[in-house]
Structure 1
Amino acid sequence: MLLRLPTSVPEAQECLAEGAVPVGGATLVWATWQREGFPQQAVSLRELPEANVIGRETVGGAVVLQRLDEKVPDVLRLAAATVGTGAVRRTATVGGNLVGSTLRCLLPPALVLEAQATVLEPDGVREADLAEVVAKRPLLLDLRWRTPVASAYRKLPGAAGGEPPLVVASALHAGSGTGERLNVAVRDGYDVLSGSTLRGTDAEAPLRALRATALGELPAAAWDVVRTQVADLLDGHGSH
């Protein structure tokens, strides 16, 4: 297998046009390739500057999870810190987790941050929303978002060999004349549900509103985790 390491966007486009398979950090695809056979050529973005940025409001698709530190919002940093082992986090990438993984541990944080993706295709670079990223699995160049007022993340302990553990992510965003906006996303099993509402004037108002979104389908135990996280997030950040 030929591993191609483009150093420019045009070179990366050329790799895709010639059929190179995106490899990410290879933590997920390597076992599959060993079992089913290796492609003729693969492409990694680890040498592409545009895919390795990290800042307060952006992260590249080739950034390894261990690099997600205090520069990024808490919800993203905490999520990355719970993925696999230290060895996995030193290799696994943001793009691989969002696009190549069935667990998608970073998807709930990306949803509550209202992140937009930049994707790389053989014919160019374009913007895409997270729904398209999940459905079509393009090559992720970067994610971009606006810094939230506050954010939170919790992953419950999981049973070995069982379903993925429950994940709850939330973020509070500054409003534009309509008050602060609260976003919550939950991974329940392999399903990711999300909801959004205005903060409201009392502690129960946003919870009642979230019940009317897709989050209302959550079982009682999961909803209890949502309730606790939302209460803590709002209590820690008084109305502005």
Structure 2
Amino acid sequence: MLLRLPASVSEARECLAEGAVPIGGATLVWATWQRDGFPALAMSLRDVPEANVLERTAVGGAVVLQRIDDRVPEALRLAAARVGTGAVRRSATVGGNLVGSTLRCLLPAALVLDARATVLEPDGVRETDLAEVVAKRPVLLSLRWREPVTSAFFKLAGAAGAEPPLVIASAVHAEDGGRRLRVAVRDGYDVLDGSTMCTGDTEETLQALRATALGDLSPAAWDIVHAHVAASPI
């Protein structure tokens, strides 16, 4: 396998046009390649500046999870800090987690930040939403969002080999002179999200939130969401 390390977006586009397979941090693909065979050509974005941005309103697809700190909102920082082991976080990337993983541990946090994705294709760079990122699995160059008023993250303890633990991310955004609450939940392998304007009454806000797609959560999962939102500053 030949690994290409492009140093610019244009070089990365050329690699894609040549059929290079994105490698991310290789934490997810290495075992599969050992079993099924390695591709002839692979590519890492670790030297592309646009894929390594890390700031209050953006994170690059090549950023390893261990680097994510308090420069980003709390929900995303805590989501990254709870992925796997320290060894995994030192090599796993944002792009690999969102695009290459079925767990997508960072997806709830990205959803509540109302993030937009910049993706790389052989014919150029474009912006898209997270739904397309999940469905089509393009090469993720970066995520960008508006800074929230506040955000939070919760993850149940999980057991090795068991179903993925419940994850809840929430964020409050300034909108139209008020505040909008966004909540996303990973329940098993499914991710549901919803939003509502904050009314000033927590129970009223929760009732409105339950009228969104989050109403499809199991009673047990909804009880945890209820407790999370009730304890958050909204």
Q: TM-score range by the shorter chain?
A: over 0.9
Map 1:94-133 → 2, pairs under 5 A = 94-133=94-133
Cα offset, 1:159, TM superposition: 2.4
Cα offset, 1:47, TM superposition: 0.6
Segments of 5+ residues of structure 2 without an aligned counterpart are: none
Q: Does 1:28 align with 2:40?
A: no
Please give the secondary structure, in 1, of the residue aligned with 2:151: strand
- What is the aligned partner in structure 2 of residue 227 from structure 1? 226
CA contact (8 A) 1:13 1:123 kept: yes
- What is the aligned partner in structure 2 of residue 200 from structure 1? 199
Cα offset, 1:167, TM superposition: 0.3
Q: CA RMSD in A?
A: 0.8
Q: Detail structure 1 runs of 4+ shifted over 4 Å in the superposition.
A: none
Cα offset, 1:160, TM superposition: 2.0
Instruction: Count the aligned residue pairs.
Output: 234
Please give the secondary structure, in 1, of the residue aligned with 2:193: strand
Aligned partners of 1:119 and 1:50: how far apart in 2?
A: 11
CA contact (8 A) 1:150 1:233 kept: no
Say which is worse superposed, 158-167 or 25-34, in terms of deviation.
158-167
- Residue 216 of structure 1 aligns with an amino acid whose one-letter code is G
- Residue 23 of structure 1 aligns with an amino acid whose one-letter code is I
Structure 1 vs Structure 2: percent identity of aligned residues? 75
- What is the aligned partner in structure 1 of residue 216 from structure 2? 217
- Residue 43 of structure 1 aligns with an amino acid whose one-letter code is M
Q: Does 1:63 align with 2:63?
A: yes
- What is the aligned partner in structure 1 of residue 46 from structure 2? 46
Cα shift readout 1:91-149 (whole Å, capped 9, x = no counterpart): 00000000000000000000000000000000000001000000000000000001111
Aligned partners of 2:197 and 2:142: how far apart in 1?
A: 28
Segments of 5+ residues of structure 1 without an aligned counterpart are: none
Map 1:126-145 → 2, pairs under 5 A = 126-145=126-145
Cα shift readout 1:162-182 (whole Å, capped 9, x = no counterpart): 1100001100001223x1000
